[in-house]
Structure formats: structure tokens, C-alpha cells
């Protein structure tokens, strides 16, 4: 067995053997192998043929990607000072290597020669798509720049990678830095029992009495939603929206990082001959221009705003008449909304949550995959990074392994916030057969607390929103795992346009509103009773509760992101905060307080891959709603939306295709036409 687990590619990652001191020697060895493969590929006597130069480089780069992927993953889910140091020491080396690769003129020339060769027509469509993508990426990577500009472009890429990592670390540290201890139970009136149990356990872990409130979602959200104590809500809200800003520790303030990131992105774009970073970002997406995206967002905002205004008027009227709040503030809206929903639809999130214990939810999700695609998911064994992590294998009817995934559901201090899917191993054909894909699915739900009346361990309970989040990430996972493509560069989610990547994930969310799905995945945690149909009907009636406000909020973020990377001057006198304030004045119905520092914790665009791409959530929602509408259209003849025939068509035309063809072609192959916005508006109650 390889002493360094990061250099062992014989199977699944060896998380049990991993130590931070493995990172540097592994990265150095793999980079040396990659550079040797590049040197052989660019040599004059290496023919411009797939097997001669593309395949060997692909093999070397895959190993580097798999090893660094494990390090990045652990940095996100089990951060420690030692791992953070190793990660930050090696990130520049990785960044420089990929930047060098993107600027390699000899390789660029070789790809151009391959594209112009007689043998190009004989390549499979997937391989031709990879070559097309490579030629585009060389141009975007600066391969055509003169030497002095190349060197500067490289420096910019390196600094951007470090700034993004620092942004995420500051946000995690600022989130962990806050703790509010409460000794008087009366101050926590309204907060659900299971949340109080979690807060009590958190205080005990710190050697304190009473209850501990943190800014992690399982603690923060219930306070905002249920705590009757308005001062407490304001305290916690203010701490949350000022994370990593000038209101906290100076060393964790992301304000200077935002400014520097934006200046460097603009500089990189100008070096490449683009007007703005948004234009660079869209070069590899479905949308063509920033103007097209902004027009799409403006049209959607125009449709949503009247609904949002109506939502807000109702909220204010209810707050005044029922709660005595004549002027509800930002720290009141979630609380008032919950009270209004209970009053209008006679149920609360907390009531629904009792019907969604983790084992039943997972069983329901797995049953859906079985029904739609004829695949079976079984719990399996593998080394994991934390005792809470589970591992599963996906089989077809013949017992053939299709793929595998890790499931890390709970929030903890060492884990970044949010929910995400990442790839561990990607499907490809190798000399000894097919390499099956493996994925990570990560969420930040509340861990189980307390015990059952029989003395057993009480399972984790999920809100319906958390069930939707789980299905969303499972959709990304299925996109990665159910690919039928055998070429690494366009297999799974590789090569899929960023604004289409959310299609399979948002598509899966729709099933969380289907009785035929939910009835299989609910059992009251204490009685075992299934979710009553009457309660489900109330949930359905409330499905589009405040949909106008929620849609407008997403448009606000997406417009901010696109303007920030398109027509905002990063060297001018206005700040990113000034810009979001302006956009809120135009778009928002609820304007948060002046101290709100949303940009400082918008890690999607400053530390994730969503810069000038946050609009893709709404863009892909048009695609996913329209795709799901086919299941609805066929439901009458079949007797429900769980139609395996349509499911297999979705698999073969969208999931299976990976990035081997443009996403719009895959959509049209499935739907038989171009996408329309109608289904999205109908699903959101805004038709």
C-alpha cells in the first residue's frame, strides 16, 4: 500500500490514513508527473493525435485533480489549523500549474493541429467537444498573450486563488467566532424543544450552563423563525449579517478582499481583450452577453415585483394587527412570516418537521431514484472523514455498480456553510474497463439530539425546506453519477455550461411537492404515523407563500453579481456595498438595515464558482421547471408523475449526456422544443 494515501489511485480515498503532512509531498510529486506529461505532449516529435498527446496528459491531470480534490474537500468539511496551513501552502503551486497549462502555446498549437487534421473527423463527438472546449479555454487562459502580459496574467490568477480561499476562511472563522449564551429559559420562548436541546448540548460542550446560540444555520434560523424575544432576534441577526465585515475583528474583514478581487478580475478580463469579467465568464455559458442576462433578470423582476409587494403588504398588515408590530424590521420578517403562515394555513414548519426523520427521508429519496431510473441505492462501507458520514453504492437491475457517494448531512464548526455536491472520481473508460463515478453530497442540517421514549437514539429531523435541499444536492449527484459518457473532459458535470448545471438539481426539487413521493418518506418521529393528507394539502396551498419576495431576493443577488462584474468600476469611488444598496432601491421590496454587509459573506461569487454566474439559478430554473412539466403533461395518461418512461428519457437525454453536447441541445432532445418561462411562473404561482 502506498505510504502516502494521496498518491494511491487504486480505489476510494483513504481518509482514515490522511494527515496534513501528506499534502506537500503528494502535490510536489504529482505536479512533477504532470509537467513531465506536458513536456512530452508539447515536444515537436509528438504527433498531434489524441492517443499521443491528449490521453497521457489527461491521465496525469486526473491524478492531480483527484488528490487535490480530497485536500480541498477536507479543507471544506474538516478544517484544522494544520490542514489550512498545508492547503494554503500548496494552493499557489496548483494555481500556477493550471495557469501555465492554460497559456501553453505549444499545446495550444497542438490542439489546433489536431482540430485541423484529417483524423479529427474520426474522433467521437465527445472527443471533438473536448478539443473545442480546450481551444476556447486556451484563449480564455491567455495562451495568445505576449510574454509580458502572460506573466502578469499568471500573477493575477495566483493572487485571485489565494484571495478566494482567504475570503472563505474569514467567513468560517467569523461565523465560529460568535457565541451568545442564554441562562434564562424565558428569553428563548418560542424556540422549539429539539433546537433547545441542541443549544443546551452546545453550551455543555463549552463547559457552560444554559443554552448556546451560534450563527450556524441549525441554530441561527430557528431563532429568527421562532424566538418571541425581539431583542434576541435583533442581536443574532446583526451578528449574522455583519460577519467578516468592519464590524468584527479587523483581520477577518472581507471588505478589502472584495475590492482587490474585483480589480484583479477586471484586469484579467482586460488582459484577455474583454471589456469586463462578466464577458469572460459568459464565454463558456449558455447566455451570450451580460445584457441578455440583465434583460432576463429585469423581465423576471417585472413579473415578480407585484407579487412581492402584495406579499409584503400582507406581512406588514398581519404584523400590525396580530403581533402589535407597526414597523417590522429585517429581524422580524422571518418570525412574522412564520406566524402568518401558521395563521393562514394552520401548520408550522416545526409540526411538519416531526414527519421527516432522516431514515425515512433517505428511503423516500432512494425509492424515487429506483422508480424513475430502475436503480437501487444500498448503504456500503468506505473510509470516511467523520463518524457521521455515510457511504452508498448505486446499482442497476443486473447488480452492476453504477456509482457511489458519500453523504455528510450535519453542520459542525469545522465545515463551511451551505450545501454542495463535489466529484471524487469521474466516469471514464480505462484499459481495464469503466471507472465508476463517486460523489460527495454535503449539507448543514441539525445533527440528532435526544432519545426516543424507548431509550434509542432519536433520528435527525428535517424541515421540508431541508428535504428540498437534500433532493437538490442529490440531483447534482445523479448528474455526476448517471453519465454514460466515457471521456473524462465531458463526463458527468465536466464541460456542462455553468448556467445549465442547476437543471438536474432544481428538477429534483419538484418531487418534494408530490404526494406519491412524500407519502413514502414520512413517519412521525414519535408515533410512526405517515404525514396526513390534510397537512400535505396545507403545505401545497402554502407552497408559493411569499414566492414573490423569494424570487425578488434571488434576482437582487443575481443582478448585483452581474452588474458588479460587468459595468461596475472596481477602481472607482463606489464600493460593492454602494452597488447592492442601489440595486436594492430598484429591485427590493424589503430593504435591510444600513449595517447589513451581504457582499462580505457572498461566498458564492467571491469564493465559489458563481462570479458573474449567480443568475444561473434562475436561468436553470426555467429549464428545470419546463423539463418537469413534461412529467406533469404525461401524468394523466400514466396515473402520476412517477413515469419511468419519461424518467429514462430524462436520464438518457440530459443526465447521461454530461457535457458531450451543448445543454440546449440536450434540453431540446428531451423536450422536443426550446425552453419557455411559462412553467416556472406557473410553479411559482405567478402565471
Q: Which CA distances in Å does 415 have to 73, 175, 246, 268?
A: 10, 11, 23, 31
Please count the residues of the chain: 687
Backbone angle region of 289, left / alpha / beta, with phi > 0 → left and psi within -120 to 50 → alpha:
beta
Residue 556: other Cβ atoms inside 10 A: 21
Which residue among 134, 168, 466, 473 is the active-site one? 473
Beta strand pairing call for 438-445 and 401-410: parallel
Measured between alpha carbons, how far is 107 from 99 in angstroms, rounded to an integer?
13
Compute the distance between CA of residue 493 and CA of residue 438 in angstroms, rounded to an integer: 12
Give how far Cα 377 sits from Cα of 477, 493, 507, 645, Å: 13, 21, 20, 20
Active site residue 473: yes
The strand ranges marked E within 461-554 are none
Q: Which segments of 103-216 does DSSP mark as H helices, in order?
A: 105-116, 125-140, 147-177, 193-205
Pairing mode, strands 211-213 and 433-435? unpaired
Q: Are 373 and 504 in contact (CB under 8 A)?
A: no
Scored b (16 or more CB within 10 A) or e, 318-329 reads: bbeeebebeebb
Instruction: Please state, in angstroms and rounded to a whole number, the distance separating the CA atoms of residues 119 and 124.
Output: 11
Cα distance between residue 263 and residue 510, in whole Å: 40
Nearest 5°: the CA angle 322, 327, 330 is: 100
Contact by Cβ (8 Å): 486, 434: yes
Nearest residue to 684 (alpha-carbon basis) of 514, 539, 544: 544
Compute CA distances 123 → 37, 51, 127, 487, whole Å: 22, 11, 6, 11
The answer to whether 525 touches 458, Cβ cutoff 8 Å, is yes
Q: Name residues whose C-beta falls within 8 Å of residue 557's C-beta, 6 or more positions apart in sequence.
A: 598, 602, 614
Q: Of 576, 619, 589, which Cα lies nearest the Cα of 297?
A: 619
CA 452, distance to chain mean position in Å, is: 34
DSSP H or E segment with residue 536: helix 533-541
Number of H helices, E strands in the chain: 26, 9
Closest CA to 552 of 228, 188, 297: 297
Phi and psi at residue 424, to the nearest 5° = -105, -50
All cell numbers assigned to 548? 414573490
Q: What's the sign of the alpha-carbon dihedral 667, 671, 672, 676?
A: negative
Query: Rounded CA gap, 331 and 357, in Å?
Result: 29
**Helix, strand, coil shares, percent, the chain, to 5:** 60, 5, 30
C-alpha radius of gyration, the chain, whole number = 25
Cell triple for 240: 449574522
Alpha helices in 178-282, H assignment, sequence order: 193-205, 217-226, 230-241, 255-271, 277-282
Which residues, in sequence order, are CB contacts of 33 under 8 Å at separation 6+? 60, 63, 64
**Catalytic site positions:** 473
Amino acid at each position: 500500500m502506498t505510504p502516502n494515501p494521496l498518491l494511491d489511485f487504486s480505489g476510494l480515498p483513504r481518509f482514515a490514513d490522511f494527515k496534513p503532512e501528506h499534502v506537500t509531498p503528494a502535490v510536489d510529486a504529482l505536479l512533477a508527473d504532470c509537467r513531465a506529461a506536458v513536456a512530452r505532449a508539447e515536444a515537436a516529435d509528438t504527433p498531434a493525435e489524441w492517443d499521443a498527446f491528449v490521453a497521457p496528459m489527461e491521465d496525469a491531470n486526473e491524478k492531480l485533480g483527484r488528490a487535490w480534490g480530497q485536500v480541498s474537500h477536507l479543507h471544506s468539511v474538516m478544517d484544522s489549523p494544520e490542514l489550512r496551513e498545508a492547503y494554503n501552502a500548496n494552493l499557489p503551486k496548483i494555481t500556477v500549474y493550471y495557469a501555465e497549462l492554460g497559456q501553453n502555446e505549444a499545446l495550444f498549437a497542438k490542439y489546433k493541429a489536431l482540430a485541423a487534421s484529417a483524423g479529427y473527423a474520426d474522433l467521437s463527438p465527445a472527443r471533438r467537444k473536448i478539443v473545442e472546449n480546450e481551444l476556447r479555454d486556451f484563449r480564455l487562459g491567455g495562451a495568445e498573450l505576449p510574454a509580458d502580459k502572460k506573466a502578469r496574467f499568471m500573477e493575477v490568477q495566483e493572487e485571485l486563488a489565494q484571495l478566494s480561499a482567504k475570503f472563505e476562511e474569514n467567513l468560517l472563522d467569523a461565523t465560529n467566532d460568535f457565541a451568545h449564551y442564554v441562562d434564562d429559559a424565558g428569553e428563548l420562548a418560542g424556540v422549539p424543544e429539539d433546537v433547545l436541546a441542541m443549544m443546551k448540548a452546545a453550551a455543555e460542550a463549552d463547559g457552560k450552563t444554559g443554552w448556546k446560540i451560534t450563527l450556524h444555520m441549525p441554530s441561527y434560523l430557528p431563532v429568527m423563525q421562532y424566538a418571541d424575544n425581539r431583542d434576541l432576534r435583533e442581536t443574532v441577526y446583526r451578528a449574522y449579517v455583519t460577519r467578516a465585515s468592519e464590524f468584527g475583528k479587523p483581520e477577518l474583514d472581507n471588505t478589502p478582499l472584495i475590492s482587490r478581487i474585483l480589480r484583479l478580475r477586471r484586469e484579467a478580463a482586460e488582459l484577455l481583450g474583454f471589456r469586463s469579467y462578466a464577458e469572460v465568464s459568459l464565454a463558456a455559458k449558455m447566455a451570450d452577453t451580460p445584457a441578455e442576462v440583465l434583460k432576463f433578470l429585469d423581465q423576471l423582476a417585472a413579473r415578480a415585483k407585484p407579487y412581492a409587494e402584495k406579499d409584503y403588504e400582507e406581512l406588514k398588515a398581519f404584523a400590525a394587527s396580530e403581533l402589535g408590530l407597526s414597523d417590522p424590521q429585517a429581524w422580524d420578517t422571518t418570525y412574522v412570516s412564520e406566524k402568518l403562515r401558521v395563521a393562514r394555513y394552520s401548520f408550522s414548519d416545526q409540526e411538519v418537521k416531526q414527519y421527516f426523520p432522516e431514515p425515512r427521508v433517505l428511503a423516500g429519496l432512494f425509492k424515487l431514484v429506483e422508480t424513475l431510473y430502475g436503480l437501487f441505492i444500498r448503504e456500503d462501507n468506505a473510509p470516511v472523514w467523520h463518524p457521521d458520514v455515510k457511504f452508498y453504492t448505486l446499482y442497476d437491475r443486473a447488480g452492476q455498480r453504477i456509482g457511489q457517494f458519500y453523504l455528510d448531512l450535519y453542520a459542525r464548526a469545522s465545515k463551511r456553510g451551505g450545501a454542495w455536491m463535489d466529484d471524487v472520481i469521474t466516469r471514464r473508460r480505462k484499459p481495464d474497463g469503466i471507472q465508476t463515478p463517486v460523489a460527495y453530497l454535503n449539507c448543514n442540517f441539525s445533527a440528532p439530539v435526544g432519545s426516543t421514549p424507548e431509550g434509542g437514539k432519536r433520528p435527525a429531523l428535517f424541515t421540508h425546506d431541508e428535504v428540498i435541499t437534500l433532493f437538490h444536492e442529490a440531483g447534482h449527484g445523479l448528474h455526476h453519477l448517471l453519465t454514460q459518457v466515457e471521456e473524462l473532459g465531458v463526463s458527468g458535470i465536466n464541460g456542462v455550461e455553468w448556467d445549465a448545471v442547476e437543471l438536474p438539481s432544481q428538477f429534483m426539487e419538484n418531487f418534494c411537492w408530490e404526494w406519491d413521493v412524500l407519502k413514502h418518506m414520512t413517519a412521525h418521529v414519535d408515533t410512526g404515523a405517515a404525514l396526513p393528507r390534510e397537512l400535505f394539502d396545507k403545505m401545497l396551498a402554502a407552497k408559493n407563500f411569499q414566492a414573490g419576495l423569494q424570487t425578488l431576493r434571488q434576482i437582487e443577488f443575481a443582478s448585483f453579481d452581474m452588474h458588479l462584474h460587468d459595468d461596475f468600476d472596481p477602481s472607482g469611488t463606489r464600493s460593492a456595498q454602494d452597488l447592492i444598496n442601489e440595486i436594492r432601491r430598484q429591485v427590493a421590496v424589503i430593504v435591510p438595515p444600513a449595517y447589513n454587509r451581504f457582499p462580505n459573506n457572498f461566498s458564492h461569487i467571491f469564493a465559489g464558482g458563481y462570479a458573474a454566474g449567480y443568475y444561473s439559478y434562475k436561468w436553470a430554473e426555467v429549464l428545470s421547471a419546463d423539463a418537469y412539466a413534461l412529467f406533469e403533461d404525461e401524468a394523466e395518461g400514466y396515473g402520476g408523475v412517477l413515469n419511468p418512461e419519461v424518467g429514462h428519457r430524462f436520464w438518457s437525454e440530459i443526465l447521461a449526456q454530461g457535457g458531450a453536447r451543448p445543454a440546449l441541445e440536450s434540453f431540446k432532445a428531451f423536450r422536443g422544443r426550446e425552453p419557455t418561462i411559462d412553467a416556472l411562473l406557473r410553479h411559482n404561482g405567478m402565471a
